[in-house]
Amino acid sequence: MENIVRAICQQEGIPVGNIQVLSGGQVNAVYLIDGQYVIRIGAREDAFQRLKSETELIRSLAGEIPVPKILSFGRQEGFVYQIQAYIPGQKLYWVWKNLTLDEQEKIGAELAGYLKILHGRRFPNFGPVGEDAGSFDSWSNYLSVKFNQAIEEIHALNIRMVPGFLELAVEYFEEHRHALEDGVPGLVHGDLSLVNVLVDKGRVSAIIDFEYALRAPKDYELYVMEAFCLYPKDWAEEDHEVFCSADFARFIPLIQKYDPELFDSPHLRERVNLYHLAGTLNSYLGWRKDNLGTIPPEKMAAKEFYMARITNFIFRHGARMF
């Protein structure tokens, strides 16, 4: 991959000295060039549209909230790339539990303020951000289509799962989908874990990775935030798997303190449970498809945390952060 990085830099007129692989990229390969440029490279079939939409969105947010400066976007030898100016900072999850209560309070208030700005953007319909993205007049229809497509694809691929598991998920979704009827389409980051917030000198230096931004009700933001706080090790790089949910117990209460409107949706708990159910099922399907070459569909296989997350929110007495 280093040859691709050098070819991209040559194409963009960037002199190359040191190339450093940055950890934590779950969808894209990420590199730091001479401490000045961050190059993100995507090879999946949807990489072009995903990074193109993100590039346009981040550029539109410049000056409103702290986001990376996008210097370039393009293709090189079948790979799609995006080049950003490097922003100093550490991932919030690395440092959160070592911050003082006052420092946590300050960052929570600052981040809540930026979320208000994001969620304040208005759209006529629901769906992914991007000029070629589909649109839905109803939030309930959008999430139902996303959920049902995952179920149908699991069946079509003949992916073997624990008997009765999908039936349980479908039953829960259909029983509670009425809770999705309300909501105004605003701009939602869609992947706002503490991994995607950078802090430097006690302040938020950047919010990153808008690839999964949605035109959605603002409470959809709570799904990934809560999932991260409950299961932080599922997001952590191998050398940072030193966290538990107790380490992040103050995070969501602080966001609620400074942005109470984010939590004022009717049937909030039911709605967020459905977000967890649909999102986790799609994540499981993505992982399973990526591994069909080594784990054939007829062989029952699962990363246990996918199953644990889904059942946690189906059952009434599962773990919650709010």
**DSSP labels for 136-202?**
BS-HHHHHHHHHHHHHHHHHHTT---STTHHHHHHHHHHHHGGGGS----EEE-S---GGGEEEETT
> What sign does the CA torsion over 165, 170, 176, 182 have?
positive
Q: What is the pLDDT of residue 166?
A: 92
* pLDDT by 10s per residue, the chain, length 322: 888 999 999 999 999 989 999 876 667 889 999 999 999 998 677 888 889 999 999 999 999 999 999 999 999 888 999 999 999 999 999 999 999 999 999 999 999 999 999 999 999 999 999 766 678 999 999 999 999 999 999 999 999 988 888 999 999 999 999 999 989 999 999 999 999 999 999 999 999 999 999 999 999 999 999 999 999 988 877 666 688 999 999 999 999 999 999 999 999 999 999 999 999 999 999 889 988 989 999 988 767 778 888 999 998 889 999 9
Distances 122 to 33, 96, 183 between C-alpha atoms, Å: 37, 32, 12
d(CA 127, CA 135): 5
Q: What is the pLDDT of residue 25?
A: 61
CATH number of 90-314: 3.90.1200.10
Task: Specify the CATH architecture of the domain 2-85.
Answer: 2-Layer Sandwich (3.30)
SS3 call for 9:
helix
Q: How many CA atoms lie within 13 A of 15 on its CB side?
A: 1
Q: Which amino acid is at 313?
A: F
Q: What is the pLDDT of residue 12?
A: 93
Every domain of the chain and the residues it spans:
2-85, 90-314
Closest alpha carbon to 289 in 186, 192, 150: 150
Question: Which two three-digit tokens encode residue 123?
Answer: 């759209």
pTM for the full predicted model: 0.92
d(CA 321, CA 213): 23
